[in-house]
């Protein structure tokens, strides 16, 4: 049997990167898919690439009103919601002195508030039925360990990590059949990682420097994270909640 057969999954940031890779895997394993993204020019093409009855919705994850609308539109299209993957996010470097308050607030709004709203309104829809449901929040290894140039990003991803645990405990205590976990990638070949490498004065040197930070010796692929998300969305992980799943090629083992 397909691993998420009959489930309805809402995946933010689904027009590219980790979100798109995850949507493809879930669709192949039987889920009906809603991808949302602020990139309205890429969304329809991504939905076509995923195939099936995939729905694309333009979505600014910082808007509470839009989150409410997206959940309603998902239920209208597919009748329910079982899986929310909060994948939309941004990442920039900056020390505490380099980071402006406006940049810090933007990072927190997208990475933290967007995830908070996804959990809040995801639960509202999921608790209407008794089917097993799952929320998967994308954090980062930067939410576990930090660096001097990762002030705002680490703060946001650390918040996602502990928010996920709080959501997991709330749902368990309330008796909802809803689990919540966080996933912590390291360097994955997505636009967020590849664009800065390409823009470096010496891209090859920058890539080699990055690879020295990964014990396994290579940059991860989107599916490396997608398969972990698929596991957490499926009933294979029915006893896993409040966990932080690290997929980092050994980075945090050092």
Q: Which positions are catalytic?
A: 153
Q: How far apart are CA 121 and CA 156, in angstroms?
A: 20
Angle CA 76–81–85, to nearest 5:
125
Closest CA to 123 of 156, 185, 162, 166: 166
**Residue 178, beta-bridge partner list:** 133
Q: How far apart are CA 112 and CA 114, in angstroms?
A: 5
The two beta strands, 178-185 and 133-138, are parallel
- Residues 35/50, Cβ–Cβ less than 8 Å: yes
């Amino acid at each position: 049997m397909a691993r998420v057969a009959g489930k309805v999954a809402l995946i933010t940031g689904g027009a590219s990167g980790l979100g798109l890779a995850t949507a493809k895997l879930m669709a192949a394993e039987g889920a009906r898919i809603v991808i949302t993204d602020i990139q309205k020019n890429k969304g329809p093409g991504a939905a076509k690439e995923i195939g099936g009855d995939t729905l694309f919705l333009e979505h600014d994850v910082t808007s509470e009103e839009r989150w409410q609308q997206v959940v309603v539109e998902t239920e209208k299209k597919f009748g329910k919601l079982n899986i929310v993957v909060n994948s939309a996010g941004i990442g920039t470097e900056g020390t505490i002195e380099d980071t402006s308050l406006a940049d810090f607030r933007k990072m927190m709004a997208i990475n933290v508030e967007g995830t908070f709203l996804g959990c809040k309104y995801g639960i509202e829809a999921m608790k209407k039925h008794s089917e097993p449901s799952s929320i998967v929040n994308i954090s980062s290894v930067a939410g576990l360990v930090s660096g001097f140039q990762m002030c705002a990003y680490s703060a946001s991803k650390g918040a996602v990590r502990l928010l996920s645990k709080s959501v997991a405990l709330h749902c368990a205590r309330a008796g909802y059949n809803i689990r919540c976990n966080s996933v912590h990638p390291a360097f994955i070949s997505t636009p967020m990682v590849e664009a800065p490498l390409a823009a470096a004065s010496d891209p090859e040197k920058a890539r080699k420097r990055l690879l020295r930070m990964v014990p396994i010796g290579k940059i991860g692929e989107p599916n490396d994270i997608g398969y972990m998300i698929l596991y957490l969305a499926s009933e294979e992980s029915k006893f896993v909640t409040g966990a932080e799943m690290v997929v980092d090629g050994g980075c945090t083992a050092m």
